[in-house]
Structure 1
Amino acid sequence: MNLLVTGAAGFIGSAYARMLLAPGAAESAGVSRITVLDKLTYAGSLDNLDLTHPRLTFVRGDICDADLVDRLTARARQVVHFAAESHVDRSIAAAGEFVRTNVTGTQTLLDAALRHGVERFVHVSTDEVYGSVEHGSSTEEDPLDPNSPYAASKAASDLVALSYHRTHGLDVRITRCCNNYGPGQFPEKVIPLFLTSLFDGGDVPLYGDGLNRRDWLHVEDHCRAVELVRTEGTPGGVYNISGGTELSNRELTERLLAACGADWSRVRHVPDRKGHDRRYSIDDTKAREELGYRPRHDFASGLAATVAWYRENRAWWEPLKRGLTA
C-alpha cells in the first residue's frame, strides 16, 4: 500500500515516517511505500528524512495545490495528514496563512481523497481546539472552544474533515494530542527554544506568571498513537492523545534550568501572550480502552534524552536559530 503523509519533513510527521520506514515496520503496518508531501517551510527540513530509503518518495509542494494533491492522492490508498501551520505566536501576528493552510489545505486533501476513493484519512489535530479547561479534562464529546487563530483554524479543519465523513461517508479519523517534545523539534517551540538559549549562555522568556499548564507527550508516543488510530480506529472517530505529565510553564522552566545547570537569573519575565489559554487537559480514556494506547516514555527520562540530543547536535539547530533572528 502507498501511504500519502503530508507535512512529514516537519518534527512530528518525520518521526512518524521514520517509524514506518524502520526495519520490519512495513509488514506490521501494511505500508509498502510512503509518499511525503511537504512545502518545506521554515519548520520543515529534508535532513529529517532519509531520501535514499527505497520505500520513500519525497514531493515538495503545497497542500493547497489542488492539481498536485490530486495526482498524489490518485496513487495513495490512505492519507495521514500532519501538514499545518502550528505556532500560536505566529498565528496571533498573522492569521491568514493559518486559515489557508490548515482549513483550505485540509479541504483540498479531503476533496481529492473523496474523488479517488481513498480508503482512510487520518487528520492530526490538537488539544487546543477545546480551549482553556479550568477543571477536569476535555473528552472527545466536549464542544470546541478555541481561542487563538491557530486553534480556531485547527478546529475548523476538524469540523470540515468530520463533515466529509458524515456527508460523504469518507473514512475520516481524527487525533487530538497535547504538547509534543523530543529530539529534532524546531527551536521556536518552548523546550528547544529554552534549551538552545541556555546552552548559548542567553536568557529565556517566561510568559506572565508562568502558571499556564500543559500536558507533555513524547513525539514517539504520539506517532504510535496516530498509527493505532490509522490501523485500529473507528471511521468518524475522534481520539484524544495524552502524555500524562501536566506541568505549569514555571515547573517546566525549573526542570530545563536544572538540566542545563542554570538558575532563575537566566529567566526573563515577559508580558503574557494575547488570549493565552490557562490550562489544557484531555482525557484519553477512549484511546486507551479502544486502541490499547499507553505512552511508553516517562517525562523525566524523555526530557533528559531530549536535552542530551540538543546538547550534542548544535550543527543541526544553530543555523535554524540564526534564521529565526535574521
Structure 2
Amino acid sequence: MQEAQDILQDDNNEELYERRTFHVDKGQEPMRIDKWVQQRMENATRNKIQRGIEDGFLTVNGKTVKSNYKVKPGDDIILLSLEHPDESDIKPEPMALQVVHEDDAVMIINKPANMVVHPGVGNYSGTLLNGIAYHLLQQNPAIDEESLPRYGLVHRIDKNTTGLLVIAKTAEAAASLAKQFFNHTVARKYVALVWGNVEEDSGTIEAHIGRHQRFRKMFDAYPEGDHGKHAITHYRVLERFNYVTLVECVLETGRTHQIRVHMRHIGHTLFNDWEYGGDKILKGTIYTKYKQFVENCFVACPRCALHARTLGFQHPLTGKEIFFESALPDDMNKVIDKWRNYLKPKDL
C-alpha cells in the first residue's frame, strides 16, 4: 500500500482539509473499507470513519462508496480529513455577520478587515467562526462539531484580508466544496494594490511557497521547487499609478499568503503589508511631501491592501455554477482615490 499526503494544511495551505491518497497493493484480501482505513489512520474511530464515508469525504477510483465496500488490489482511495493545528473548542458568540447569500447547503460571508477566521493560539474568541457557530445554532440547535466539523469552514483568508468566504452548512456540502478546492475548480479573484509599476499587462507567477527558512511566521517563494508546495498565481493590471499598481490576481492554487508572497517575489510587495515590508516607501521620491502623502495613504488603508472580490463554485446540491462578487471596501477605495488624485495635474 502506497500513501501520499497531498496537502498539509498547517504547513502552507488556505484549505483546511488534508487529502490522503492510498493505492491498494496486489495481494490485498477483501476487507471492509471502514476497517481498512481505520488501520491506517492514527486515533481514528470506526464511527468517525463511517460518518466521513457516508458524507462523501472518501472516494474509491473517483466514486463514493458505502462503509461495507470491500477494498481490492488496484483500488485508488482518496480521503479528505479535517486536520486542524489548534484543537480548541469553538465557543458560539453572537456576531453581526455580513451574509451575502445563504441557502440550505452554503453560506457566503463577506469578511471585514482585522478579523481572524478561526480560533487559534491567542485568538480563542471573537473570530469569524465563533459568529458562524452561533448563527448556525440558531437555525439548528442540534448541530455540533461532530455532525459538521469546524462548523463548515473549508478555507480561510488572512486576518487583514477582506472579502468572500464560503461556509458549508452540512457535512455533505463540506465534502463537495473541499473536493472542488483540491481540484482547483473554485474561481477566486482578488484585487490588490502593490508597490511599483507592474510593466506587463498580465502574467503568471509559478513558484513553490513554503515556510521562510529563518522567520517561521512568514512564507517565501522557492522558484526551483526545493521547498514548499506548488503554487500558481495569474495577474492582470487594472490601473497604474506610477508608484503603485492595482492588480487582479486569480488563484490556481490556495497557499497561505500566496498573493502576498508571489507578488513580492516579482518585486511588487503589497501596499502596507507590514509582514513583508510593504509598510515602507518602496517606490517613489525622497521628498517630504511625498513621504507625508504615503503616510496618509497608510492611515487611509491601515492594513495589507488585499480583497477577495470574486468567488465561484459548483453548488453542492444543484450542481449549478454560482458566482458572487464583493465590492471593494471603503479603506481600499479611499487609498486608490488618493493615488488617482495624486497623479492629477496640479493647478499652476
TM-score relative to the length of structure 2: 0.23
Q: Relative CO higher for 1 or 2, CA cutoff 8 Å, sep ≥ 6?
A: 1
Greater share of residues in helix: 1
Larger-Rg structure: 2
More strand by share: 2
